[in-house]
Amino acid sequence: MNIAVLGCGRWGSFHAWYADHIGHSVLLWGRPGSHHLQELEETHKNEYLALPASIKLTSDLKEALTFADICVIAIGAQQLRSFARDLKEAGVPLTKPFVLCMKGLEIGTGKRLTTVMEEELGSDVKTVVWVGPGHVQDFIGGMPNCMVMASKDEALTRQVVDVFASPLIRFYYGSDLIGTEIGAAAKNVVGIAAGMLDGEHLTSLKGALMARGTHELSRLIEAMGGDKMTVYGLSHLGDYEATLFSPHSNNRRFGEDYILGKPFNKLAEGVYTTEALLDLSRQYHVEMPITETVYAIVREHQDPLTMLKKLFLRAMKSE
């Protein structure tokens, strides 16, 4: 099939590589002036991978949409609303499936990314989310993993899974879109907390963090109308190994570097998700101590060690 990957950063370039790897024709799009696109045009590689010559590059969004049977979107979650408007203004019928390969919630509204797509492109837009554990470096090295896809339409989910399944990535079908999206976004916040524990030499508390993280999120998902058990699947708990422990995890590294006072210049989506989760916490009257702690440290500049110790003393009492 013809696969257009919209977004040419770390995950966008990987999804282009992967779609080509399993036999599809691929066009990779980046914004005009994007330094990621410029690097790929000049060298056909970045710090994570080398793209095969068969993958074509473009900065013309209309060209990418016209080419595609399926569009994979891999951009920052906070850019999705404005990007959806760009899709609408491109003047190409948007009847093909859009696969969202990012994890986050919209700050200011707390809205899920599929909701943003529907608000901007209409309720008939075909949107699938693709989330779960895995790092570009591992996949490129041939290390397989399991991931999950979910949408409101089971037939659409199965159609897209059939297109992208391979020995490198085995997919599960997500039946709870709310839980899948919230869990996938929230694991980045837990990842920041895990990095902070690493930075404070409190790594042994990650077990407590994992136990409290899943419990905290299950209550929110249930309050929002989702299945509280979804949090124990691949979108959240199943992604903890890749997010709370891996040296490749941007969110974990952000948390550790924050504690150590090191500059961090990559995208850590969990920083934005923290704000959105607090909006949901207030809206649904669900306490979220981990999220509150990360926010207090990063946004309110409260003492990290004091806040982390307070969090786990509270966790032991409530357990």
Element spanning 311, H or E: helix 304-318
Q: What is the pLDDT of residues 105-146, one digit of tens each?
A: 999 999 999 999 999 999 999 999 999 999 999 999 999 999
Q: What is the pLDDT of residues 173-204, one digit of tens each?
A: 999 999 999 999 999 999 999 999 999 999 99
SS3 category, 290: helix
| Confidence label for 265 from pLDDT (cuts 50, 70 and 90) | confident
- Which of these is catalytic: 103, 111, 126, 187? 187
For the chain, the domains span 2-174, 177-318
* Residue 317, pLDDT score: 52
End-to-end CA separation in angstroms for the chain: 51
What is the rounded distance in angstroms from the CA atom of residue 190 to the CA atom of residue 182? 12
* Residue 316, pLDDT score: 52
Mean pLDDT (the chain) is 95
Asked whether the beta carbons of 4 and 67 are under 8 A apart, the reply is yes
SS3 category, 112: strand
Element spanning 55, H or E: none
Scan for tokens 């399993």, then name that residue. 22
Fold equal for 2-174 and 177-318 = no
* Residue 147, pLDDT score: 97
pTM (two decimals): 0.94
HSE-CB at 198 with a 13 A cutoff on CA atoms is 20
CATH number of 2-174: 3.40.50.720
Q: What is the pLDDT of residues 170-179, one digit of tens each?
A: 999 999 999 9
CATH superfamily of 177-318: N-(1-d-carboxylethyl)-l-norvaline Dehydrogenase; domain 2 (1.10.1040.10)
State yes or no: is 187 an active-site residue.
Answer: yes
Asked if pLDDT for residue 314 goes beyond 80, the answer is no
